[in-house]
Amino acid sequence: MRIQELLSKVKGIQTLESIRSALKVDRTRAIYLVHRLKSKGYVKTKYASDKKRIYYISPENVVGGISYVDIINSYSPIKLSSSEVYKIYGREPSIEETLVYAVNTRKVRYILAALVLFRKIKNWSDLYRLAKENNLAREVGALYDIARIKVGKVRRMEKRFRNHASPLKKDSYRFIIPNLQSNDFRDIESRWKVYIPFNENDLEEYKK
């Protein structure tokens, strides 16, 4: 099988099992084919929480660069796949920048996957600046409170961020995603005057 034909059949996020299924080959053959793609630079490998290999197979891997999705996938148990991934060259975006990007997509799965990034936040001032610039400070604050209780191992938010980001009495509620709100996080919604676009059962991957 030619490389380009092979690439077209397995492009995206894969495991060895999904590659075997897509190509209808045995385990030994699947390992060999992954090795062929890897030798050409098409494969990036990460490990899931259960130590299973996750393969990110794309022609874009050959030209280098990194995307926000790459960064999220490197930490999150919820894996993202996108056919329109924007690659960044010459620098690696910060965790703070990546988190704000995910919230700004207004996509539920991106936001869910990015909750894990709160474990890695070190520069709360930078996070507040970026969130403020994108008019997302309250949204980020509300999502932090969810990550704190549901994702685990999340450091305490700096008081300065909470004080500056908290809503005023006159502020109205905001939707992160239009017309979506939670049945389970009403207290957090009330605290930040932000409607959360998912429920507890959407966070099952963080319990594994």
So what's the pLDDT on residue 185?
Answer: 97
Residue 85 is predicted with a pLDDT of 64
- The CATH architecture assigned to 1-63 reads Orthogonal Bundle (1.10)
Residue 40 DSSP label: T
Confidence at residue 198, expressed as pLDDT on a 0 to 100 scale: 97
Whole-number pLDDT of residue 148: 96
Q: What is the spatial distance between Cα 43 and Cα 199, in angstroms, rounded to a whole number? A: 34
| Model pLDDT for residues 157-194, shown as the tens digit of each residue | 999 999 999 999 999 999 999 999 999 999 999 999 99
Number of H helices, E strands in the chain: 10, 7
Report the pLDDT value the prediction gives residue 59, as an integer from 0 to 100.
84
Angle at CA 131, nearest 5°, toward 130 and 132? 90
127: tokens are 């996070």
Q: What is the pLDDT of residue 154?
A: 96
Residue in this structure with the two tokens 């999502």, named with its chain if needed: 143
- Kindly list the domain boundaries of the chain, sorted by start residue: 1-63, 65-208
User: What pLDDT does residue 58 have?
Assistant: 87
Cβ atoms 55, 45 nearer than 8 A:
yes
C-alpha 128/C-alpha 100 separation (Å) is 9
The residues of the chain scoring below 50 in pLDDT are none
